[in-house]
Amino acid sequence: MALTIRPATETDIQPICDLVNGFAERNLMLHRTPAQVRHALRDFLVAEAPEGVVGCGYLAHLSADLVELRSLAVAAAYQGSGLGGLLVERLVDMARDRGIGQVCALTLAPEFFARHGFERVDRWSISPKIWGECVYCPKFHVCDEIAVLRLIDPPSH
Ligand SMILES: CC(C)(COP(=O)(O)OP(=O)(O)OC[C@H]1O[C@@H](n2cnc3c(N)ncnc32)[C@H](O)[C@@H]1OP(=O)(O)O)[C@@H](O)C(=O)NCCC(=O)NCCS
């Protein structure tokens, strides 16, 4: 299966929205508008297959040392073959290259993140900025998301 993970470009904006919003319709993640994706474009990675974008995720900068991994999604046909994990590792690499020491996420899949070195943390122990988007969430008053955090080793070279 020929797959490339690369930084997102303008032409990926609509495919990213289509992928993410398909899962958002099932309350698995937050919706993204084209304007939101364009605003964060330099922080997005996509996984590209011959038929187009089949995976994505991005880093939201919450503070000088903390990013949040958001909009992580893999198309159903590609799930379970390691692509989600690969996207996480590439996003962590991107954070490390930017000198960031911590990456967090709010997730319904803490076991998936645990496999990639994330630990469950008290949601209130992370920067309050992580909750900045929660007002847009349909589950705002009945939040079932779990906060996870990974400390990033500095570059070895
Ligand atoms: C979560 C997601 C990105 C994982 O992508 P993936 O390519 O399937 O991930 P990988 O192949 O690297 O890892 C798959 C493993 O993670 C586990 N996993 C996937 N989703 C999970 C979930 N919601 N809860 C717990 N474990 C999960 C799978 O069971 C699988 O385990 P196995 O190898 O023992 O069968 C993908 O399932 C997805 O896009 N889900 C819908 C959108 C979503 O929920 N995104 C939110 C993530 S915060």
**pLDDT tens figures, 29-55:** 999 999 999 999 999 999 999 999 999
The rounded Cα 121 to chain-centroid distance in angstroms is 17
Let me know if residue 156 belongs to a domain. no
User: For residue 90, what is the domain's CATH number?
Assistant: 3.40.630.30
Domain assignment of residue 157, yes or no: no
Q: What's the number of domains the chain is made of? A: 1
Domain residue limits at 71: 4-151
Residues 6+ apart with CB under 8 A from 16: 8, 32, 37, 44, 46, 53, 56, 71
Nearest protein CA to atom 37 of ligand 1, as residue: 79
Q: Ligand 1 pocket by C-beta < 6 Å: which residues?
A: 23, 28-29, 72-74, 79-85, 105, 107-109, 111-112
pTM: predicted TM-score of the whole model, two decimal places: 0.92
The ligand 1 atom at the shortest distance from the C-alpha of residue 55 is 39
pLDDT attached to residue 37: 98
Between the CA of 45 and the centroid of ligand 1 the distance, in Å, is 17
